Amino acid sequence: MQAALPTDQEAPDLSDLEPIAFPGRPASRASAPASKDTTFDRRELLRILDLYGRMVAAGEWRDYAIAFMKDRAVFSIFRRSSEQPLYRIEKSPALARRQGEYAVVNSTGFVLKRGHDLSRVLAVIDKRLSVVN
């Protein structure tokens, strides 16, 4: 048996209710500020993932992580996921007019190569197989 609402009492209007707020998230997207994180664009990410795929196929690398921060984007490469990264490929737009926005950093923090062209910077860790006669 269902209970019916009395005729003088209307159902509440759902537009008047507060939206559900989840912990750690803003209540609505309209009030949330736009994120200004630095990211890799599609061309850059394809170039990095091409190198990563070849090195995984060769058995050199096994895992990666990507971090987007306000001042830089970092693609970390691991031999095993429980270790420190072997290499970090960093993009820092603030350095674009000075030393170059791309850098490859090894596990000890030493900058192996820095420059304006991503392909040239990645060449320092790109070990292509070559035939020797």
The pLDDT tens digits for 104-122 are 998 888 899 999 988 889 9
In a domain, 112, yes or no: yes
Alpha helices in 1-133 (DSSP H): 42-57, 118-122
Structure tokens at 30: 């309209």
Higher pLDDT, 16 or 66: 66
- Considering only CA atoms, which of 81, 124, 133, 80 is closest in space to residue 100? 124
How far apart are alpha carbons 91 and 118 in whole angstroms? 9
Residue 49: inside a domain: yes
What average pLDDT does the chain have?
A: 77
Is residue 15 over pLDDT 80? Answer: no
28 has a pLDDT exceeding 70: no
Predicted confidence at residue 129, as pLDDT, reads 55
Q: How far apart are CA 28 and CA 121, in angstroms?
A: 41
Q: Which of 95, 88, 103 is nearest to 71 (CA)?
A: 95
Asked if residue 73 is part of any domain, the answer here is yes
- Grouping H, G, I as helix, E, B as strand and the rest as coil, residue 119 is helix
In a domain, 48, yes or no: yes
Residue 133 lies in a domain: no
Is pTM beyond 0.85? Reply is: no
pLDDT per position as a tens digit, 76-103: 999 876 678 889 999 988 887 888 889 9
Residue span of the structural domain in which 77 resides: 42-122
Higher pLDDT, 92 or 20: 92
User: Is 107 part of any domain?
Assistant: yes
Structure tokens that stand for 41 in this block: 């664009």
Q: Residue for token digits 């693609």?
A: 75
Question: Does a structural domain hold residue 36?
Answer: no
> Residue 106 forms beta bridges with which residues?
87
Structurally, how many domains does the chain consist of? 1
Inside any domain, residue 92: yes
Tell me the two tokens of residue 133. 């006669």
CA-nearest of 52, 103, 101, 57 to 77 is 52
The pLDDT, as a whole number, for residue 103 is: 92
